[in-house]
Amino acid sequence: MQAGRELDAKIAELVNGWSSEYTEHLKKNDGWILIPHYSTTWNGMERLLEEVKNNYPLFELVWNTRHEQWMCDFNGKGIGEYETYTHAKTAPLVVCLAYLKVNTRGN
């Protein structure tokens, strides 16, 4: 999956437990909230990590100099375990892909 608003909406649905047919906004209580740019900005990535940090205290994000890509894992078993290990060219994208992977296993 590519970085962008579709991925951001999927992440927002997982984080908040809401279903949305939109890629820019989610309905919250009696209003609307703007979906953060989780997959394309460092601020969005940091917001995602802040929102989920209590559920994943052993989260890892590593820059691989040999392959020139980011590696990420949310399950706490370590990058070498590969169960939820993910890699991508940007940190925000790899964090989103790893979060999506760990939260949609077996579905």
Of 13, 8, 5, 38, give the one whose Cα is nearest residue 103: 13
Pairing of strands 60-64, 31-34: unpaired
CATH of 5-104, one of 3.40.50.10420, 3.40.920.10, 3.30.2120.10, 3.30.70.1560: 3.30.2120.10
3-state SS assignment for residue 101:
helix
Assign residue 29 a region (left: φ > 0; alpha: ψ between -120 and 50; beta: otherwise).
left
Domain spans, the chain = 5-104
- Buried b / exposed e along 19-32 (16+ C-beta atoms within 10 A): ebeeeeebeeeeee
3-state SS assignment for residue 88:
strand
3-state SS assignment for residue 14:
helix
10-residue averages of pLDDT along the chain (107 residues) = 91 79 66 85 93 81 93 68 77 93 71
Give pLDDT tens digits for 13-44: 888 776 666 667 666 666 677 888 999 999 99
Entry pTM: 0.82
